[in-house]
């Protein structure tokens, strides 16, 4: 025993020992060898050596900072662990699987999915043109003919960024007074008066909503929310995922579009004119630099000292009589890529505007640029992938 201590002291003074030399248990050579799951699976797929706490219970490398620590090296003294790694505190862990296919997010349908119908209003969207559009409802019980009936009441709009997640404005879903009325979403619909025989629209109940923790309902700062669905929607020719903009995207700022419902009407509202009511609509609203936007807004009743929050982005500049304004809450501001004009990336979420007077001021949107990290973080917390809404780089 004394000689072992002396040997340890000599090694410590000469600096010729490692943590593995000191702390690695010394087992008899005839004891049972136990391979880790990583070693067992290495025959069929390669693994990489990482610190044990970066390998989750499924033997997958933790890449998002989440997950519980699973201490794989802690074994009884009658067992020996073969980790295939030189460092005693590392284990061989599988890398997360990466999708093989290129994302199809943000693609605009170049032709209508329904028989061609001449449009007198060029702002009307063709059937299936923007397949990532989402309509958000609230299920509400009403009395009709002395009977209680559940109806879906239109709230606002959003965009599909995953088959199980919708992006929208926080002001659309922050109402806590009616918490007993669940949210529902609908995808794959362009004309509320028409239900196509093939690929009809899909409805899903919302499992839970997540609002930005710094959302300010009075000033509409951080005006963003995610809706997670109880069951995923089916991606098809009428339903697809939106691309979210990042700062590396080279966008065509002059041809950005705002897409949304002018007025959402159900089939029972047939007394309204079709061309003005039940069709999804689009409007060109060019991106506006922040300084130009603030200058314009200070000429309104907001006053010359008005400051625009950095979580906002501006677009458009039509008078209040001509823009979507309050009708575009949650609607996407989507801009085409210069390298791929048929692919749009979402730059903003419809938030607020000057709704009175004849002020030619831009509309205000929650900025995807500024809020992208929050979106990615919440998606990872929900164990949902983020690759699907990333525009491929050409």
Strand-pair partners of 143: 148
Return the domain boundaries, the chain.
27-97, 133-389
What distance in Å separates the CA atoms of residue 271 and residue 184, rounded to the nearest whole number? 26
133-389 in CATH: which number? Answer: 2.40.10.10
pLDDT recorded at residue 89: 81
Please indicate whether residue 386 or residue 20 has the higher confidence score (pLDDT).
386
- pLDDT value for 169: 96
Say if residue 144's pLDDT is above 80.
Answer: no
* Higher pLDDT among residues 96 and 364, named by residue: 364
> If phi over 0 gives left and psi between -120 and 50 gives alpha, with beta otherwise, what is residue 371?
alpha
Q: Is the pLDDT of residue 362 over 50?
A: yes
CA–CA separation, 239 vs 23, rounded Å? 57
52 phi and psi angles, rounded to 5 deg: -55, -35
pLDDT of residue 60: 74
Q: Which of 111-120, 216-225, 237-246 has the lowest mean pLDDT?
A: 111-120
pLDDT at 361: 85
- With helix as H, strand as E and coil as C, how does 193-246 read? CCCCCCCCCEEEEEEEEEECCCCECCCCECCCEEEEECCCCCCECCECCCEECC
Q: Would you state the pLDDT for residue 80? A: 39
Mention every residue, 6+ apart, whose C-beta is less than 8 A from residue 126. Answer: 109, 111, 112, 113, 114, 190
Q: What is the pLDDT of residues 121-138, one digit of tens each?
A: 567 888 889 999 999 998
Rounded CA separation 112/127 (Å)? 5
What's the pLDDT score for residue 355? Answer: 67
Residue 212 pLDDT greater than 90, yes or no = yes
* Top-ranked range on mean pLDDT: pick from 85-89, 224-228, 355-359: 224-228
Q: Which two tokens stand for residue 18?
A: 């490692």
Report pLDDT for 52. 78
Q: Is the pLDDT of residue 34 over 70?
A: no
- The pLDDT of residue 46: 60
d(Cα 378, Cα 161) in Å, to the nearest integer?
A: 12
pLDDT in tens, 250-307: 999 999 999 987 655 554 443 333 334 467 888 889 999 999 999 999 988 889 999 9
pLDDT higher at 76 or 291: 291
The stretch 138-162 carries a mean pLDDT of 85
CA distance 222 to 212: 6
- Mean pLDDT (whole number) for 358-375: 89
| pLDDT band at 37; cut points 50, 70, 90 | very low
């Amino acid at each position: 025993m004394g000689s072992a201590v002396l040997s340890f002291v000599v090694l410590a003074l000469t600096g010729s020992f490692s943590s593995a030399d000191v702390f690695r248990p010394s087992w008899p050579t005839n004891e049972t060898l136990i391979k880790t799951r990583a070693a067992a699976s290495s025959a069929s797929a390669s693994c990489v050596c990482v610190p044990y706490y970066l390998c989750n219970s499924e033997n997958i490398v933790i890449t998002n900072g989440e997950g519980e620590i699973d201490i794989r090296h802690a074994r009884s003294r009658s067992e020996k662990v073969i980790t295939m790694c030189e460092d005693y505190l590392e284990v061989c862990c599988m890398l997360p699987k990466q999708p093989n296919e290129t994302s199809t997010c943000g693609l605009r349908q170049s032709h209508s999915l329904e028989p061609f119908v001449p449009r007198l209003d060029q702002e009307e969207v063709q059937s299936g043109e923007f397949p990532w559009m989402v309509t958000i409802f609230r299920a509400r019980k009403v009395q009709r003919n002395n009977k209680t009936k559940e109806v879906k009441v239109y709230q606002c709009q959003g965009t599909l960024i995953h088959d199980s997640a919708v992006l929208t404005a926080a002001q659309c879903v922050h109402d806590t007074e009616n918490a007993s009325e669940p949210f529902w979403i609908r995808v794959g619909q362009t004309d509320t008066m028409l239900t196509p025989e093939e690929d009809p629209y899909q409805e899903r109940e919302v499992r839970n909503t997540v609002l930005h923790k710094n959302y300010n309902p009075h000033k509409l700062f951080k005006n963003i929310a995610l809706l997670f669905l109880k069951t995923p929607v089916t991606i098809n020719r009428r339903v697809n995922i939106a691309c979210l903009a990042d700062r590396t995207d080279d966008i065509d700022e002059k041809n950005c579009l705002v897409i949304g419902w002018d007025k959402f009407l159900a089939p029972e509202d047939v007394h309204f004119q079709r061309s003005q009511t039940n069709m999804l609509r689009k409007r060109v609203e060019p991106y506006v630099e922040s300084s130009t936007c603030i200058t314009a807004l200070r000429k309104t009743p907001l006053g010359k000292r008005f400051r625009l929050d950095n979580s906002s982005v501006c677009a458009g500049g039509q008078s209040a009589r001509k823009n979507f304004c309050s009708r575009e809450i949650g609607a996407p501001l989507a801009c085409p890529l210069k390298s791929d004009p048929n692919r749009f990336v979402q730059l903003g979420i419809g938030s607020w505007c000057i709704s009175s007077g004849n002020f030619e001021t831009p509309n205000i949107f929650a900025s995807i640029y500024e809020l992208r990290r929050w979106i990615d973080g919440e998606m990872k917390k929900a164990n949902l992938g983020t690759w699907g809404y990333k525009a491929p780089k050409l």
